[in-house]
């Protein structure tokens, strides 16, 4: 029997495609086994997802793009796709040509660049204790035991443990910064490596 992924691939193909591939790979007297991997591979097509398209219905129609519903995709997502690997990039390129600034650059606003925000976070908290590992404390219920390093840089040295009230432990976009007034925790640890050191 084919596995789930192979079944999805086979089911996603049209009946004509399935029939054509089946003629080639159906069981024979000399080889009664069906190679479902080969069947699925022959029916594999590149899918261009509608949710990745910048262009709208007007350009899709102009390029002859036909969207197909993926019946196996989650219901709350746009699960349309096309297998037209020539029309999709063409429509995408036309949309980009019509919508990119003439000078060729786009200025991102604050919070639009994850990488830039991460760099700013690192710069701003270079001298703060930033959590690199955390777990609910077995020894102090209601608290989160945290291992933190300066600037959140992972290294062998300079680690400290802190206890943070569970309701206060809310991880931000780039990490959790220990309150500067917090004292390091030196009690029993729920971390295996720290417990072994005691």
Instruction: Answer whether 116's CB lies under 8 Å from 173's CB.
Output: no
Give pLDDT < 50 ranges for the chain.
none
Number of domains in the chain: 3
The residue assigned the tokens 């600034």 is 101
How many Å apart are CA 11 and CA 19, to the nearest integer?
12
Confidence (pLDDT) at 11:
86
| pLDDT tens-digit map of 20-48 | 888 888 888 887 888 888 888 888 777 88
How many Å apart are CA 48 and CA 155, to the nearest integer?
42
Confidence (pLDDT) at 112:
67
Task: Confirm whether 116 is domain-assigned.
Answer: no
Which structural domain range is residue 182 located in? 124-189
Shared domain check, 170 and 129: yes
Strand partners, 163: 145
- Determine how many CB atoms are found less than 10 A away from the CB of residue 35: 13
Task: Confirm whether 140 is domain-assigned.
Answer: yes
Task: Confirm whether 109 is domain-assigned.
Answer: no
Task: Confirm whether 198 is domain-assigned.
Answer: no
Confidence (pLDDT) at 177:
92
Confidence (pLDDT) at 5:
84
Task: Confirm whether 7 is domain-assigned.
Answer: yes
Confidence (pLDDT) at 197:
60
């Amino acid at each position: 029997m084919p596995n789930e992924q192979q079944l999805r691939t086979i089911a996603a193909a049209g009946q004509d495609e399935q029939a054509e591939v089946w003629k080639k790979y159906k069981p024979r007297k000399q080889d009664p086994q069906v190679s479902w991997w080969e069947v699925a591979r022959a029916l594999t097509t590149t899918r261009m997802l509608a949710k990745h398209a910048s262009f709208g219905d007007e350009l899709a129609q102009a390029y002859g793009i036909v969207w197909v519903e993926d019946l196996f995709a989650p219901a709350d997502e746009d699960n349309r796709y096309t297998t037209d690997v020539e029309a999709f990039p063409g429509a995408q390129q036309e949309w980009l040509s019509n919508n990119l600034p003439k000078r060729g650059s786009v200025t991102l606003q604050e919070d639009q660049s994850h990488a830039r925000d991460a760099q700013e976070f690192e710069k701003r908290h270079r001298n703060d204790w930033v959590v690199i590992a955390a777990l609910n404390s077995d020894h102090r219920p209601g608290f989160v035991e945290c291992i933190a390093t300066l600037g959140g840089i992972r290294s062998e040295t300079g680690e400290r443990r802190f206890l943070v009230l569970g309701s206060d432990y809310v991880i931000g976009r780039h990490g959790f910064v220990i309150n500067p007034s917090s004292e390091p925790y030196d009690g029993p640890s729920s971390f295996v490596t720290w417990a072994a050191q005691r």
